């Protein structure tokens, strides 16, 4: 690890991010010179020196590398402070403590953004499992009720971890909760999220997300932005709902399409993050979506909460003593008989 990338430093940051950081540093340099002229000499001189050192490191090609371990400093932290010289693991102890306090606060905020544990909508019962690998999660999981009693659901995975990923997750959550009551179509919701992401995130960050709407009569519409295929599991069948688009945060005006299908009473829709399907056992074998579908099929008679618990237990048993390196999120949406009659609607069955 220590010798890695000692002479290829800024490549990891990406050209765009590098350019942005350089611009930021030059801008700060101007401001500091102005401050110096206004008489804040001592402080400005010290910071000017730090900015010049950072610019010199850019010239030499060592910018963005931790001075202790020579691996790349986290890009989101550099964007917040382009003068950083150490990665998270090599911060001085007092800065480590301040960072931990920030992370814990972010974790509390994140927990408060999660939907109710046992969620019910007309024709549907839902449960989920949400487990960060670290203090905070980059996964996103949300539920809501639309103006016509439809169930809205979302599950996603923001690239990277830490505070930046959790902030993006909060962005998604705020957008979901403000637009769902307005009866916005699912494809438009994902389009909107894509634009917000493209405009507000680092060039290195993107997210995959499945966002859908389910009517009381079992019609489901899904827009999938590059996320893992949702599973429709029945007593004798498993259907994978194939992805319909690119992850959000990559291309601003990329159109988003949705897919429609029906789920019958007794069937479940299973959404999951890669922390579930890409769990590995001691022999480095991957858990996989097929294994998840098999367990899900065995649990159809259970309540959604029990269903989720059984699936998570199976993943944990498969993993054995190996630790989870990624956030794990699993959502089970169980179709139950609606109190309302079944309206006839045109749809493409998949
Ligand atoms: Zn380091």
Whether 226 is covered by a domain: the verdict is yes
In percent, how much of the chain has pLDDT > 90? Answer: 49
Distance of CA 8 to the CA centre of its chain: 29
Whether 296 is covered by a domain: the verdict is yes
Please give the pLDDT value at position 204.
58
> Residue 5 pLDDT more than 60?
no
Distance of CA 107 to the CA centre of its chain: 14
Please give the pLDDT value at position 110.
84
- In this structure, are 69 and 131 located in the same domain? no
- In this structure, are 199 and 155 located in the same domain? yes
* CB environment 155-165: b (16+ within 10 A), e (fewer): bbbbbbbbbbb
d(CA 71, CA 76): 15
Please give the pLDDT value at position 306.
96
Please give the pLDDT value at position 33.
85
Please give the pLDDT value at position 14.
59
Whether 41 is covered by a domain: the verdict is yes
Q: What is the mean pLDDT of residues 309-333?
A: 93
Question: Ligand 1 centroid to 289 CA: how many Å?
Answer: 36
Question: Ligand 1 centroid to 65 CA: how many Å?
Answer: 8
Question: Ligand 1 centroid to 89 CA: how many Å?
Answer: 5
Whether 107 is covered by a domain: the verdict is no
- In this structure, are 23 and 123 located in the same domain? no
- In this structure, are 291 and 329 located in the same domain? yes
- In this structure, are 74 and 219 located in the same domain? no
Please give the pLDDT value at position 111.
87
Q: Which residues surround ligand 1, an ion (CB under 5 A)?
A: 66, 68-69, 87, 90
Question: Ligand 1 centroid to 9 CA: how many Å?
Answer: 13
Please give the pLDDT value at position 232.
97
CATH number at residue 39: 1.20.120.910
pLDDT-derived band at 161 (thresholds 50, 70, 90) equals: low
Model pLDDT for residues 249-277, shown as the tens digit of each residue: 888 888 889 999 999 999 999 999 999 99
**Average pLDDT of the chain, as a whole number:** 86
Please give the pLDDT value at position 214.
97
- In this structure, are 175 and 245 located in the same domain? yes
Model pLDDT for residues 81-123, shown as the tens digit of each residue: 889 999 888 988 888 888 888 888 888 888 888 999 889 999 9
Please give the pLDDT value at position 279.
94
Question: Ligand 1 centroid to 69 CA: how many Å?
Answer: 4
- In this structure, are 291 and 207 located in the same domain? yes
Distance of CA 223 to the CA centre of its chain: 16
In percent, how much of the chain has pLDDT > 70? Answer: 90
Question: Ligand 1 centroid to 52 CA: how many Å?
Answer: 22
Whether 322 is covered by a domain: the verdict is yes
Q: Residue 29: which domain range?
A: 10-91
Question: Ligand 1 centroid to 83 CA: how many Å?
Answer: 15
**How many structural domains is the chain composed of?**
2
> Residue 200 pLDDT more than 90?
no
d(CA 216, CA 350): 19
Q: What is the mean pLDDT of residues 281-290?
A: 94
Would you call 143 helix, strand, or coil by DSSP?
strand
| Domain stop point among 46, 74, 91 | 91
d(CA 25, CA 77): 14
- pTM (two decimals): 0.76
Question: Ligand 1 centroid to 77 CA: how many Å?
Answer: 13
d(CA 348, CA 350): 6
Whether 349 is covered by a domain: the verdict is no
Question: Ligand 1 centroid to 71 CA: how many Å?
Answer: 6
- In this structure, are 239 and 307 located in the same domain? yes
Nearest to 48 by CA among 60, 31, 63: 31
Question: Ligand 1 centroid to 242 CA: how many Å?
Answer: 40
- In this structure, are 324 and 244 located in the same domain? yes
> Residue 6 pLDDT more than 80?
no
Q: List strands edge to edge, sheet with 231-233.
A: 118-121, 124-131, 328-335, 268-272, 231-233, 238-240
Q: What is the enclosing helix (H) or strand (E) of 208?
A: strand 207-214
- In this structure, are 144 and 241 located in the same domain? yes
Please give the pLDDT value at position 203.
58
Whether 317 is covered by a domain: the verdict is yes
Question: Ligand 1 centroid to 60 CA: how many Å?
Answer: 19
pLDDT-derived band at 349 (thresholds 50, 70, 90) equals: very low
Please give the pLDDT value at position 205.
72
Q: For 109-118, 156-165, 265-274, 290-299, which range has the lowest pLDDT when averaged over its residues?
A: 156-165
Question: Ligand 1 centroid to 90 CA: how many Å?
Answer: 5
Whether 342 is covered by a domain: the verdict is no
Question: Ligand 1 centroid to 94 CA: how many Å?
Answer: 16
> Residue 75 pLDDT more than 60?
yes
Q: What is the mean pLDDT of residues 170-187?
A: 90
Q: What is the mean pLDDT of residues 286-296?
A: 96
Contact assessment for residue 282 and residue 322, using Cβ atoms and an 8 Å cutoff: yes
- In this structure, are 262 and 163 located in the same domain? yes
Please give the pLDDT value at position 222.
96
Question: Ligand 1 centroid to 160 CA: how many Å?
Answer: 17
Phi, psi of 140 (to 5 degrees): -130, 140
CATH number at residue 327: 3.60.40.10
- In this structure, are 86 and 133 located in the same domain? no
């Amino acid at each position: 690890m220590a010798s890695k990338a000692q002479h290829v430093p800024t490549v990891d940051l990406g050209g765009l991010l590098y350019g942005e950081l350089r611009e930021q540093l030059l801008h700060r340099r101007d401001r500091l010179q102005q401050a110096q002229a206004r008489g804040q000499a001592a402080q400005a001189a010290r910071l000017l020196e730090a900015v010049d050192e950072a610019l010199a490191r850019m010239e030499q090609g060592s910018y963005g590398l931790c001075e202790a371990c020579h691996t790349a400093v986290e890009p989101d932290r550099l964007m917040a402070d382009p003068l950083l010289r150490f990665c998270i693991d090599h911060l001085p102890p007092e800065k480590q403590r301040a960072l931990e306090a920030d992370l814990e606060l972010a974790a509390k905020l994140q927990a408060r953004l999660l939907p109710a544990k046992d969620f019910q909508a007309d024709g549907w019962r839902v449960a989920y499992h949400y487990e960060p690998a670290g203090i905070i999660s980059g996964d996103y999981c949300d539920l809501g009720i639309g103006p016509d009693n439809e169930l809205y659901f979302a599950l996603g995975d923001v690239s990277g971890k830490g505070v930046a990923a959790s902030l993006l997750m909060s962005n998604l959550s705020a957008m979901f909760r403000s637009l769902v009551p307005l009866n916005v179509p699912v494809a438009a919701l994902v389009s909107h999220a894509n634009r917000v992401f493209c405009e507000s995130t680092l060039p290195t960050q993107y997210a995959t997300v499945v966002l859908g709407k389910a009517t009381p009569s079992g019609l489901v519409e899904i827009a999938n932005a590059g996320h893992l295929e949702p599973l429709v599991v029945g007593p004798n069948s498993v259907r994978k709902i194939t992805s319909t688009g690119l992850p959000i945060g990559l291309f601003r005006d990329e159109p988003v399409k949705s897919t429609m299908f029906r789920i019958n009473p007794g069937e479940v829709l299973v959404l999951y993050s890669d922390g579930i399907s890409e769990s590995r056992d001691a022999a480095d074998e991957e858990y996989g979506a097929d294994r998840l579908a098999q367990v899900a099929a065995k649990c159809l008679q259970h309540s959604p909460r029990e269903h989720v618990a059984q699936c998570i237990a199976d993943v944990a048993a498969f993993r054995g003593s190996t630790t989870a390196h990624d956030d794990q999120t699993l959502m089970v949406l169980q179709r139950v008989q609606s109190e309302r009659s079944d309206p006839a609607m045109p749809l493409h069955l998949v």
